[in-house]
Every structure is written in structure tokens, then in C-alpha cells.
Amino acid sequence: MSIRNSWSMVLVLALVACGSSKSLKDFTPSAQEKESAKAVVTSTLKLQEVKTNAASDNPISGLTEIQSSAMQLISAQQSRNAGGGGLGLGLQAAVSSALQQDCVTQSGNRTTYDCTSQSQTVKGYIETSGDTLTVDLTISQSGGYELIYSGSVTVTATLVNGTLSFDYKASSVTYAVDVTYNNVTLQDNCPVAGTLTVDSSYDVAGLPSGYGTGNLDATVEITFGPACGDMVAKGG
């Protein structure tokens, strides 16, 4: 079996003066944020293909799309948090490489990845149990970048429930993002009920004394419905 995956991981750091909001406040999501919130949900559907086609690009592509959309929500929330006298970090990540080789094996309900290219390795597995997928994947990039996908999520055409985590490490910067689906219901490939929470925490070495990682954290909570496109958003 072969895998052809594309990741783009360009680290973008933007340091701005900002404060830290510990309580969630209502906000009106932009059109882009609505699209990002929807994509965080619908991209999980790609994970299901691991059950029928282990060599497919889609499961890992789905994970990278979830990560990218979640980071867009976090970046927008960090901008809203700005203005209180702390130090904020806008960070987006993407990595680009292609693996074209026999590096995926399937045994029972577990699909194992052991892929190496000139600049990147992908190791770990996606395991299925009915409609529940458990992910444990590490993507390492030359230059010292490491991205870990983990968690367990139940995915059907009409429901997403569970938590996926993305841990990124590069040089002096590390961040962790938890994406929690609380009984998110889909209708015609659109979320119409349930809650999505994206929560991030950061650690940046070398920050000035007095600035803790709490100044870099952001949380977005989206409640969907009752119709496609309807959302109630909170952030902090």
C-alpha cells in the first residue's frame, strides 16, 4: 500500500501587546470563523476512510485540516484577546512534504504508519472500534519540528463526539490544542447541534520575566444550530 500525503508546516510567530481573558465572552463570529468551525467538524469524516482504504491520504489529510481550521479559530481569538497589556502569540503551523512509498500496514482494526522521506517521518497508528477512532501519530520534520496527533473520537455521518489533541514542538515554542466535540450533530454534512470547544495552551522559552503561558492561551466555544450556519460563539 502507498500513502501520498501533503503537509505544510510553516511556523509563523507574531508577538503583539495583549491581555489574557480567563472567562468566555460572547462574540459574533466572522464568515471565515464560521467556515473554520464547520471545517473542524466536517473534516473528521475523512478519518472514517481508514476503515475501508488504509492507503488513502484522507485520514491524515483530515487531521491536518482539523488542525489548520482549529488554529484559525485560535488565532482570531488571540486577536480579540489583545489590548490588555500582556504579550500574545499568533502562531500558525503547516508542513509540506510528500511520502510515496509502501509504508502503511493494516492488521485487524489497526492501521499502522511507518513512513520516512528525506525530510519527514510519520509513525503511529489509527485504530477503529465500530465508529470510534483512536489516533496516536507523530510527524517529525527535519530541523527539529514534531507534531503529535492523539485522542479518540466517534464519527458517523450524523454525529461527532470525543476529543482530538495536537501537540507541536519546535525550537523554543511548544503548544497544545485540544479539540472537543460534544455530541455535534450533522445534517447534510453541516453541524446543526452540539458544541465544539477549541482550547490552546502555549509555552515560549525566553519570554520577558513576568509573562506566563496564561497570557498566550485562548479558548473558543461554538454551539451549533438549530439550522445549518447558525452558531453561538464564546471566546476568551
Domain boundaries, the chain: 12-235
CB 178 within 8 A of CB 153: no
The confidence score (pLDDT) of residue 87 equals 39
> Which ranges of 127-208 would DSSP assign to H, the alpha helix?
none
* Residue 211 pLDDT class (50, 70, 90 cuts): low
Residue positions counted in the chain: 236
Question: In Å, what is the CA distance from 27 to each residue of 30, 77, 104, 121, 232?
Answer: 9, 10, 43, 40, 8
For 221, half-sphere exposure in the C-beta direction (CA atoms, 13 angstrom radius) is 10
pLDDT in tens, 107-135: 999 999 998 877 788 899 999 999 999 99
**Does 204 score more than 90 pLDDT?**
no
**Overall pTM > 0.85:** no
Mean pLDDT, range 61-80, rounded to an integer: 90
Three cell numbers, residue 229: 450556519
Structure confidence at residue 217 as a pLDDT band (50, 70, 90): confident
CA distance 123 to 91: 25
- Closest by Cα among 91, 93, 104, 144 to 120: 144
Q: Residue 52 has what pLDDT? A: 86
- Percent of the chain whose predicted confidence (pLDDT) is above 70: 78
Rounded to 10 deg, the angle between the 58-81 and 31-42 helix axes is: 150
pLDDT at 216: 65
pLDDT (tens digit, 9 = 90+) per residue, 50-66?
Answer: 988 877 878 888 998 99
